[in-house]
Structure 1
């Protein structure tokens, strides 16, 4: 993992490191950092848009996260440490926009990510109102070719089919995972991917009950949400290993209900000795 010493432009929000954010190594997990990014996005003020909604001139609508990326670049912690999350806007389209974010501890970048958001009603995505676009324009980050290319990610069609994957973990949605949109929250779904990687790792090394469990959670995720995961429901998280490097493993994952793929993810994490059939 690499943590360049620089700081992006954008709106800064201070976030305390909570005990629940820490992984088994005592520093913030990738899932913990995803919570910080969400916390910072929620705390942004979109004053023109909020006024428009408050006056009843836009809606009803839902705010939907259709894709996100989060990377843990360096250790952050312990609990009680305050980190700074910098948030700006990388892209504004007709019906979606993309936040860019970095997590800093002092002058050191320890994590980052982005999130693509749409506003939708029962008929599908809505065109962004001028008031929201004006609010987002005030948070614009310098546009880059990389940001422009990643604005509309394309999921390879083979990733939507069960035959692409070689390993399966059954999971059931829990009522505590359901958010105000009445579907399973994206943080809970990211934790499902963590569960699948852990189960696959244990099976790969032939671990039995009571054995020491290797600490190999992914340090980066790129996730695309394709459909609603609801409660109650029985699901499967699919996994296949795309590549194994000297010190890392690249996983391809998907969430399925029967034959329907509801989301896919790419994850990169550490390679443990003896894991992944190597």
Structure 2
């Protein structure tokens, strides 16, 4: 990883595409792209904050991802040269901050995303220390002004908002060091739900067409734990000749633990299957 002024991003990280990053079409999937962005964030250095933590002066804390976006913009392959993720800080808040990232491979921009993390202590959110703010400021993008994104409505947290449900069971391999289902594993759950909806919509057995989303905006609202049986609600928000826009939610009983907006190719999905009378 080194510094870079490319497109205004202060840091760049070389990425090595892995077989596990590929989707069914042989290119890096949207979930694979999210792994690229995570890899770059993990490798980003915050030297002043790291010295503070190593000295034991910051106390007990967790760094929790509370929201992310990821978009696959173009195909990326294992054979593409010079795969990189460029990273900067877009927003610095009182207890949280937001990364902005862009992925490149084979001489073209292939993905983008953002991630917001919260510093959490035993009693709740922790104010960012001056040392961390100094590190983040050095990584800030030239224009870090933020246009507030519209927040999903409260109706998204209710089961009766969704028209279709896909059951999913937490796997022990999904659990991370924070002892809950990892946020990237949860992103794959949304892929599973869209695939289940697609299978029900076309009403055919066998291989389901590859219509997984090319973009996600995800908000993490609560802990998803193991063991547990969950359901993913799916609602078609809108569609046109080429694409479908989904709204999704993760539920344990009546409790909503996460919501997402997604968009993907329409493919063979009929207008009837995507309308109010579609699969349930």
Band of TM-score, shorter chain = over 0.9
Distance in 2, matches of 1:225 and 1:20, equals 24
Instruction: Tell me what 1:3 maps to.
Output: none
Q: Which runs of 4+ in 1 moved over 4 A?
A: 79-82
Q: Is the 8 A contact 1:76 1:105 kept in 2?
A: yes
Q: Is the 8 A contact 1:18 1:80 kept in 2?
A: no
Q: Out of 211, 220, 226, which is 2:221 matched to?
A: 226
**RMSD (Å) for aligned C-alpha atoms:** 1.5
Classify 1:226/1:159 alpha carbon distance in 2 versus 1 (closer, same or farther; 3 Å).
Answer: same
Q: In the TM superposition, what is the alpha-carbon distance from 1:10 to its structure 2 partner?
A: 2.3
Q: What are the Cα deviations for residues 42-90 of structure 1, in whole angstroms up to 9, with x where unaligned?
A: 0011000000000000121111000000000000002575411000000
Identify the range of structure 1 (250-259 vs 102-111) with the bigger mean alpha-carbon deviation. Answer: 102-111
Q: Out of 200, 210, 213, which is 1:215 matched to?
A: 210
Q: Out of 193, 197, 201, which is 1:204 matched to?
A: 201
Instruction: Tell me what 2:148 maps to.
Output: 149
So what's the TM-score if we normalise by structure 1? 0.93
Q: Is the 8 A contact 1:226 1:261 kept in 2?
A: yes
Identify the range of structure 1 (183-192 vs 106-115) with the bigger mean alpha-carbon deviation. Answer: 106-115
Q: Is the 8 A contact 1:16 1:81 kept in 2?
A: no
So what's the TM-score if we normalise by structure 2? 0.92
Distance in 1, matches of 2:270 and 2:142, equals 41
- Give the SS at the match of 1:148: coil
Q: In the TM superposition, what is the alpha-carbon distance from 1:100 to its structure 2 partner?
A: 0.1
Q: Is the 8 A contact 1:22 1:79 kept in 2?
A: no
For structure 2, which runs of at least 5 residues remain unmatched after alignment? 1-5, 275-280
Matched residue count = 268
Q: In the TM superposition, what is the alpha-carbon distance from 1:245 to its structure 2 partner?
A: 1.2
